[in-house]
Each structure stands twice: as structure tokens, then as C-alpha cells.
């Protein structure tokens, strides 16, 4: 109702952004409840509700990105949409969003996590050279929480490329 009320006004992109955040928070709660329910009933986990809410958040983020490409929190929108795609197992659009984020907003707070996801996608496809290119960007950010994981992954990427000296250097 608020989004309709402020359609075309300065508050609309802020409200759309907040809606996407609430949707993903709701999805996280549904995820935990699904796991708890499955555990207590001794059944397999159904993530149908979780994925449905994530898909709704993608639609909300599509609207925000399409309608307000200059919005100040657009880097977060690309990251959140990429994460939502990743959660519903659509790695190609997730990768496109992460790549857009790191290409157009390399200094955004979310870019470090995007680099890590891009690196993991490359590792999953045995594209270790490509993974190294993304991980090196995280290595330049020693103040981030992802830094030690990037070093670890850099070590394994070099190991898989048969570069044991470099791999050991990162592992140390």
C-alpha cells in the first residue's frame, strides 16, 4: 500500500528496497522453520515456501533495478538479487548480477562477497585460473571477514593448477 501511495515519488525506491529486505528476512525465517519442522517430524526438508518467497524478492528487486538504476542502494539490490538467484539454484543469473556488481560498483561493501561467490562458481567448474582472478580482488582487502577464506581458496586453486609453491605460500 505504501509503495502504491508513493508511486513516482522520492520515497518509492526506498520502500521497494525495504520490501525486498523484508522478503528475504521472511525467507530466512521460513528456511529455519522448514528445517526445524523436518527435524521434529523426522522428515525431509521442504524448501518450497522458502524458494517462493525468494522468487518474490527477485521480482521486487527486478522492479527496483529496472525503475531506479541510479538509486543509491542499487549495489545492494544487485547483490541481494544475485544471492536470491543463488538460493533458488540459478547460478547463471546469480553470476551475472555478481559480475555486474563488481564491474560497476567495485568499491561497494557487497562486492567482496560477490567476488567470493564468483570464485566459488569458478571453482565448482574447475576454472581455477578464473577463480584466482576473483580471489585476488578479495586478497587486496585484508580488513574484510572473507580475507582468510580467500587466502585458503587461493591456496587450493594454485594447488589444483599444479603450483605447489604458490599453494603452500597461501596456506602458510
The model's pLDDT over 50-106, given as tens digits with 9 standing for 90+, comes to: 999 999 999 999 999 999 999 999 999 999 999 999 999 999 999 999 999 999 999
Q: Please provide the average confidence, as pLDDT, over all residues in the chain.
A: 96
pLDDT tens-digit series, residues 7-20: 888 899 999 999 99
Whole-model pTM: value is: 0.91
DSSP 49: H
Are 105 and 111 in contact by the 8 Å Cβ rule? The answer is yes
pLDDT at 81: 98
pLDDT at 7: 86
The answer to whether residue 114 scores a pLDDT higher than 90 is yes
- Measured CA to CA, the distance from residue 30 to residue 53 in angstroms comes to 9
pLDDT-derived band at 3 (thresholds 50, 70, 90) equals confident
120 Cβ contact partners less than 8 Å away, ≥ 6 residues apart: 131, 153
Amino acid at each position: 500500500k505504501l509503495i502504491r501511495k508513493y508511486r513516482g515519488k522520492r520515497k518509492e525506491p526506498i520502500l521497494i528496497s525495504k520490501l525486498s529486505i523484508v522478503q528475504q528476512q521472511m525467507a530466512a525465517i521460513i528456511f529455519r522453520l522448514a528445517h526445524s519442522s523436518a527435524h521434529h517430524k523426522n522428515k525431509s526438508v521442504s524448501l518450497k515456501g522458502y524458494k517462493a518467497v525468494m522468487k518474490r524478492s527477485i521480482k521486487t528487486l527486478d522492479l527496483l533495478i529496472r525503475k531506479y538504476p541510479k538509486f543509491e542502494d542499487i549495489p545492494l539490490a544487485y547483490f541481494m538479487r544475485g544471492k536470491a538467484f543463488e538460493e533458488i539454484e540459478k547460478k547463471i543469473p546469480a553470476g551475472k548480477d555478481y559480475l555486474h556488481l563488481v564491474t560497476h560498483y567495485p568499491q561497494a561493501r557487497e562486492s567482496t562477497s560477490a567476488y567470493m561467490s564468483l570464485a566459488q562458481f569458478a571453482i565448482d567448474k574447475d576454472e581455477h585460473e578464473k577463480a584466482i582472478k576473483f580471489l585476488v580482488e578479495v586478497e587486496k582487502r585484508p580488513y574484510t571477514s572473507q580475507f582468510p577464506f580467500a587466502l585458503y581458496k587461493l591456496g587450493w586453486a594454485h594447488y589444483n593448477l599444479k603450483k605447489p609453491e604458490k599453494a603452500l605460500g597461501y596456506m602458510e
